[in-house]
Amino acid sequence: MDAPSNRLTDESLRMWMRRLGPSLIALATRICRDRDRAEEVVQEAFVRLWRKPPDAGEPAYGSWLRTTVTNLAINVLQRERRESALPEDVAEPSRPSATTPVRILERREDLRRVQDAIARLDPDKRTMLLLRLNESMSYEDIARHLGVPVGTVMSRLNRARLALLGELDSSFDAKTSPSHYDINRYREA
């Protein structure tokens, strides 16, 4: 009996792994906040691709893999419900205008607050923000990636931003006024 026409060859699968593996691991790492888990998630996605590739063929593999990795990573978080820090490789944005030691410390503290607030968000909200901010995906790209309408992406992102701002407001102590904090200094969503 002949194999289905959309079946991957060993060489084709290796090519897709080389081509998309690193970016998929990076995506899963940002969602899971654990490199080992991320590698397991990506491996599972490639196994699923091997077993049953999308009917649309090779042009759909990239999008299909990103969606599968995103969903698997969220599932890992929901199953494990563990609290951990964001990856240490999250880079601090550079701002050449602020060079005083006090300003550098303030920026580091603000960035830590943002990272901590993002870590406290539920996986769905965190994923929406990471796709928009870290992956620089447009609303349309996120909609295609998640298989939802653009309006849904816009409302989910809005809820995620509001949740993040709520987390940031709750992280300030009595000496620090939330009105002095501007999240847009760091990332424009």
In this predicted model, what pLDDT tens digit does every residue of 64-75 receive, in sequence order? 888 889 888 888
Q: Supply the pLDDT for residue 50.
A: 84
Percent of the chain's residues with pLDDT above 70: 76
Average pLDDT over residues 144-172: 82
- pTM for this structure? 0.47
Q: Looking at domain 101-185, which CATH architecture does it have?
A: Orthogonal Bundle (1.10)
pLDDT bucket at 76, cuts 50 / 70 / 90 = confident
For residue 189, pLDDT beyond 50: no
Q: Is the pLDDT of residue 92 over 70?
A: no
Residue 37 has pLDDT above 80, yes or no: yes
Nearest to 41, CA basis, from 88, 74, 10, 9 = 74
Please enumerate in sequence order all residues whose Cβ is within 8 A of that of 58, keeping only pairs 6 or more positions apart, or say none.
12
Q: What is the DSSP letter of 125?
A: H
* Interval 3-13: pLDDT, tens: 445 677 878 88
Cβ neighbours, 10 Å, residue 120: 17
Query: In the structure, what pLDDT confidence band is assigned to residue 22 with cuts at 50, 70 and 90?
Result: very high
Rounded Cα–Cα distance for residues 27 and 14 (Å): 19
Burial-class residue 37 by CB neighbours within 10 Å (0-12, 13-18, 19+). buried
Residue 87, pLDDT above cutoff 70: no
The helices-and-strands tally (H runs, E runs) of the chain is 7, 0
Backbone CA torsion sign across 158, 128, 30, 121? positive
**Alpha helix ranges (H) inside 7-60:** 10-32, 35-51
Which of 154 and 103 is assigned the larger pLDDT? 154
Q: What pLDDT does 144 receive?
A: 85
What pLDDT is attached to residue 6? 64
Count of beta carbons in the 10 Å neighbourhood of residue 145: 17
The CATH 1.10.10.10 domain(s) of the chain lie at 101-185
Q: Where in the chain is the domain with CATH 1.10.1740?
A: 10-80
Alpha carbons within 13 A on the beta-carbon side of 17: 17
130-151 average pLDDT score: 82
Output DSSP code: residue 121.
Answer: S
Q: Are 135 and 124 in contact (CB under 8 A)?
A: no
**CATH class of the domain defined by 10-80:** mainly alpha
Sign of CA dihedral 131, 137, 143, 149: positive
